[in-house]
Structure 1
Amino acid sequence: MDNIERFSILRVTEEGKKDTEDIITKEFPLTIILNNQELVTLLCSPTNLKYLAVGFLFSEGLVKGKDEIKKIIVDDRRGVVRVETEGDKRFTNELVAKWLITSGCGKGASFYRMADAQGQAKIQSQIGIS
């Protein structure tokens, strides 16, 4: 999957307006499932999903190293990475509440649970500002 898309835009500067093409980075929702338990949905670029999932699990302290991981299945069509580990690591809903982590560069909306994000209005506009 390609990381970028090309769009026709109208660029406005002090010199005037100009029709041109610009490159936009794609954003992709990736759900990480650890031992058949949905853990988190990350908004990320759509490449290197296996490494992102393993890095997330390691940085959150959910796996200690690569020897702990038995199997990794990446389904980039559905946006899911399934990770199986040695032993049965299970988490309570209080500990892991299906996080959604956005890529808003510190300015995006963040929800603690996917359920919190449901019902949010989708913007239906063709206007883009950069």
Structure 2
Amino acid sequence: MKTRRGDLPCPHVERSAVVDLPQIVKRRILRYENGVTEQREVEVVTEYALTVFVDGQEFVTLVCTPSDLEDLVIGFLASEGVLTSYEEIRSLTLSEEDGVAYVRLVTPVTIDPQMFGKRYIASCCGKGRQSFYFYQDAALAKPVEVAPVIAPRQIVSLIERMQRASDLFRTTGGVHNASLCTVDQVLLSRFDIGRHNALDKLYGYQIREKWTSDKLVIAFSGRISSEVLLKVAKMGIGIVLSKSAPTALALQIADDLQLTTVGFVRRGAFSVYTHPERVQLL
């Protein structure tokens, strides 16, 4: 699953202004319950805006949770087709205080607005993409032909472990969780206010560490939208598990790209929507 980097050059990564970015803030609220109102202090998840420049060109502003920002930038750029490997990055500079990431590529690119477009992608669902399915998605999301076979007990266990991995969700209830897994264990977990951001953080780590995808599974807390499904396909992972529901368009794409989609993984039950041959039901 993990391949060696060997003697390949590593990009230069630096942080020009290191600050401790809060992921939660405290706030006084009024809580009503069973006819009783009381004041409480609660913890609320924060939002952070990160503007990404590629070879001097403003590319996108991501609204996200301020954690694992290097992986978020790498994963997002890979998902957009700007890069395919970690070694294509000459340098990555993060100014967390200013909310800016500067990426220089070994082979500089020109941002074509017809190909990418300048977008503001908020934490909800990335609705800024007008040409969503047509250009980059069609070029990068290929059918996944090699994937593991998973048993019901493993499906239930991975979702339970993913949920236990997020202290921030238990504290605030305000983030999505995503995990890279084998059928037997959770390897890596990430969280974010944007479900697509959580996946990009996993993708960025996968690219940096050169994890191959044929034995990997995605466990996910949010709705499986078409964008989520396409990101999983771009990662080359053939099984996605979620405690929530898929959309009809996501299932159409899953049929076409040979992804196994399992939703509503709750209390020992689940629903297999596409490509059930990878689930050992008998």
Q: Is the 8 A contact 1:70 1:84 kept in 2?
A: yes
Aligned to 1:65: 85
Aligned-residue offset at 1:84 = 0.6
Moved over 3 A (4+): 110-113
Q: Which residue identity does 2:48 align to in structure 1?
A: F
Q: 1:101 aligns with which of 113, 121, 124?
A: 121
Unaligned runs of 5+ residues in structure 1 are 114-130
Aligned-residue offset at 1:14 = 1.7
Q: Which residue identity does 2:68 align to in structure 1?
A: N
1:13 maps to 2:33? yes
Q: 1:36 aligns with which of 56, 65, 74?
A: 56
- TM-score, normalized by length of structure 2? 0.37
How far apart, CA to CA, are the structure 1 residues paired with 2:108 and 2:38?
Answer: 58
> What RMSD, in angstroms, separates the aligned Cα atoms of the two structures?
1.8
How far apart, CA to CA, are the structure 2 residues paired with 1:7 and 1:72?
Answer: 35
Aligned to 2:273: none
Q: Which residue identity does 1:103 align to in structure 2?
A: S
Q: Which residue identity does 1:52 align to in structure 2?
A: L
Aligned-residue offset at 1:94 = 2.2
Aligned to 1:84: 104
Q: Which residue identity does 2:81 align to in structure 1?
A: G
Q: Which residue identity does 1:68 align to in structure 2?
A: E
Q: 2:45 aligns with which of 25, 29, 40?
A: 25
Residue identity over aligned pairs, in percent, reads 29
Q: Which residue identity does 2:117 align to in structure 1?
A: A
Paired residue secondary structure (1:57)? helix
Unaligned runs of 5+ residues in structure 2 are 1-20, 131-282
Say which structure is richer in helix: 2
- TM-score, normalized by length of structure 1? 0.77
